Amino acid sequence: MKISRLYLILFLLVAVQACSQPAKLIDKKTEKLFEKAKTAYQQRNDEEAMTWVVKTIQRSPDYPDAHMLKFQLHQDSKQFDEAKLELEKVIKISPNFFPNAHLFLGRIYLSEGNYQKSIERLEYFRKYRDADSKLLNEASSHLATCYFATEAIKHPVPFDPISLGSAINSSNSEYFPTLTANDQTMLFTRRVKVENSSLEQEDFYISVKENDQWQMAKALKYINTSGNEGAPSIAPNGELIVFTACENVYGEYGGGKKGLGSCDLFYSFRVGNQWSKPRNMGPNINSRNWETQPSISADGRTLYFVRANKKKRGINNLDIYTSILNKEGEWTLATKLSEVVNTPRDESSVLIHPDGRTLYFTSDGHLGMGGEDIFVSRKDENGKWGMPVNLGYPINTHNNENSLVVTASGEIAYFSSDRKGGLGGLDLYQFELYPEIRPTRVNYMQGFVFDEVSKKPIQAFFELIDIKTGKTVVESYSNTVDGNFLVTVPTDRDYALNVSAPDYLFYSANFTAKEGSAAKPFLVDVPLSKLSSGVSIVLENIFFDTDQYEPKSESDIEIKKIHSLLNNNPTLRIELSGHTDNVGSEAHNKELSLKRAQSVMNSLLEYGIDKSRIEVKGFGSEKPITDNSAESGRAKNRRTEMKIL
């Protein structure tokens, strides 16, 4: 919308001769007044230029050159409403005096959300077939936006934003929220005043939810500094934060060394109630450019973020990048997402949902309402991102929308806005997502890992494995200090859960997260037993068909876990025992239970375990662990156990 000073000066020198209709007759005194205005403008004395241009217009109200100069003076001083009025006067006085004025005014109307007026000006401009081709293409692009927006307004989507209230919001600006998977902890950026200064800086604030109410947000200790920290992403388990920090904190975070660019990404781990000293994520993530707005996947192994790539004339172009944590624990060289997501314009404010395949982001390059809109793209089975979908009006408007975060359930979204009725600046709001733009529902499992005897917390390794495919879906650790854990659980699957720690017998469980069973979170406390003689566990993930003794293929997950235990503890000897319910003859049950134990042993022998380290027994129905009167009890009694010898 802004015209360069040199361009306007050249235009005013030739405008009357170049216009497509006869010029207005201007007297000598008007010309002298306007010459003084142009001279002052050339000398960058805008205040004096305004004085002379006002006098020019007072003498000759229909002089379009003077109104064009007054338009630019208002534009330079960011008096946009006044600038628009002058442009409207130019067109009213002489519609063809300056053809580009129609394009400029069309831009202004579009930025205000006045789509119909914008269409009128842009269509008028397109009549000038000999106009600059780039400007004609721009007009066509703006028209596409206007027509899209007018249709979107006719078909609004459900949207009822609710402020998060004074516990979260303040008279300052709050933005870039991020959540743990259980929707109980929110971290966000707040712009605060620097003490004893008129300047402002960005700091992190954190709030926890109690009785379904957000508690008063507090400044985040151990990470906030005297510099700017912004755009955080907290891992769904609450154990890791990735965030943006800039030059003035490099000395504190970079071990005395400068960062790699103007702003870099850093990370910090939670250790009990504290956070580790933040560290730079390194050259595979950070560059000489500006990196910001990270989003970490549920398993902590994929990072999405925004990088500002400098284009011609020093203009930054924002694109979304991604990097993967490899088996060696190193982040791979970041790569730009495909052109399906990224455009020649700006993409930012990226969020990867805990389902791992739904990406929300902001863009002014995809067709939208005129400003920066929020879009959603979904990854297919081949790992390719689908065509982004605009979230619709009134979620998106002619203003800029960003900072979206979506709960693991996919039902609620949070975002920042400076809409009327807020407490000041940008405030945080929540709203219910309509079904068509929701991600795949993700639940979570939360609990505490502890020593079965001493009850002391243990840091343990978690594996959540899809029983059908045998693939590990989530890997995580319980907290080093308090033993707490929180892992996301994608729905519509059956899972094997394995929890292990050095010098302890692993924990085995299975559960279903299919539809109808995943409405509530899974709350599990995990007792681990020291590796000592006589300790035993039920192998919950060893499966057999009815009256069969060969383990089903789904049992490979558990068998590999036993192999790993024996391999890591070469002096360990175990007993595998089979157990049945009381249905059928005892002789048959004993034979079946023994064969089942032997089959599990044979599988371990195929992995190279020495036979002398394994004993097998079949107890039939002799040792029930619960009542056999109901099917639920009989199912528990049909089991395979492992005991340390």
- State the pLDDT at residue 473: 82
- State the pLDDT at residue 8: 54
CATH fold label, 5-154? 1.25.40
* Token pair of 30 as six digits: 């008007």
What is the location of CATH 3.30.1330.60 in the chain? 533-645
441-530 architecture in CATH? Sandwich (2.60)
What is the location of CATH 1.25.40.10 in the chain? 5-154
Cβ proximity of 235 and 325 under 8 Å: no
pLDDT tens digit string along 247-290? 544 444 444 345 566 789 999 998 878 898 888 998 999 998 88
CA-CA distance, 429 to 57, in Å (whole number)? 48
* Token pair of 185 as six digits: 């902890």
CA-CA distance, 356 to 519, in Å (whole number)? 19
Residue 352 CB coordination number (10 Å): 24
Annotate 268-335 with three-state secondary structure.
EEEECCEECCCEECCCCCCCCCEEEEEEECCCCCEEEEEEEEECHHHCEEEEEEEEEECCCCCECCCE
Query: What are the residues facing 335 on neighbouring strands?
Result: 322
- State the pLDDT at residue 197: 77
CA-CA distance, 27 to 34, in Å (whole number)? 11
* Token pair of 233 as six digits: 């992403």
Residue 248 CB coordination number (10 Å): 12
- State the pLDDT at residue 159: 96
CA-CA distance, 112 to 106, in Å (whole number)? 10
Cβ proximity of 488 and 298 under 8 Å: yes
CA-CA distance, 27 to 19, in Å (whole number)? 19
Sheet holding 162-163, edge to edge: 162-163, 427-432, 412-417, 402-406
Cβ proximity of 53 and 70 under 8 Å: yes
CA-CA distance, 56 to 52, in Å (whole number)? 6
CA-CA distance, 177 to 164, in Å (whole number)? 11
CA-CA distance, 404 to 433, in Å (whole number)? 11
Cβ proximity of 219 and 203 under 8 Å: yes
CA angle 161-81-54, nearest 5°? 170
- Among 635, 615, 613, 614, CA closest to 624: 635
Residue 326 CB coordination number (10 Å): 10
pLDDT tens digit string along 372-409? 999 999 999 889 999 999 999 999 999 888 889 999 98
CA distances, 127 to each of 1, 68, 97, 144, 363 (Å): 20, 21, 14, 16, 30
Cβ proximity of 243 and 266 under 8 Å: yes
- State the pLDDT at residue 21: 40
CA-CA distance, 356 to 379, in Å (whole number)? 8
DSSP per residue, 166-197:
TTT--SS-EEEEEE-TTS-EEEEEEEEEPTTS
Q: Which residues in 367-395 are b (16+ Cβ under 10 Å) and which e?
A: bbbbbbbbbbbbeeeeeebeebebbbbbb
Report the amino acid identity of residue 524.
V
CA-CA distance, 203 to 523, in Å (whole number)? 33
- State the pLDDT at residue 139: 94
CATH code for the structural domain at 162-433: 2.120.10.30
CA-CA distance, 146 to 157, in Å (whole number)? 18
Between the two ends of the chain, the Cα-to-Cα distance in Å is 80
Query: What are the residues facing 10 on neighbouring strands?
Result: none
Which residue ranges in the chain fall short of pLDDT 50?
A: 1-2, 6, 10, 12-23, 248-257
- State the pLDDT at residue 18: 40
- Among 560, 557, 565, CA closest to 529: 565
- Phi, psi dihedral angles at 615 (to 5 degrees): -115, 150
- State the pLDDT at residue 548: 93
* Token pair of 624 as six digits: 């029930």
Query: What are the residues facing 324 on neighbouring strands?
Result: 302
Report the amino acid identity of residue 454.
S
**Looking only at Cα atoms, what is the longest distance across the chain?**
122
DSSP per residue, 462-530:
EEEEETTT--EEEEEE--TTT-EEEEEEESSSEEEEEEE-TTEE-EEEEEE-STTS-SS-EEEEEEEEE
Cβ proximity of 450 and 197 under 8 Å: no
CATH code for the structural domain at 533-645: 3.30.1330.60
Contacts of 415 (CB under 8 A, 6+ apart): 161, 177, 374, 401, 402, 403, 404, 405, 428, 429, 431
CA distances, 621 to each of 277, 550, 578, 584, 588 (Å): 56, 19, 9, 10, 10
CA-CA distance, 23 to 34, in Å (whole number)? 15
- The DSSP element (H or E) to which 417 belongs, if any, is strand 412-417
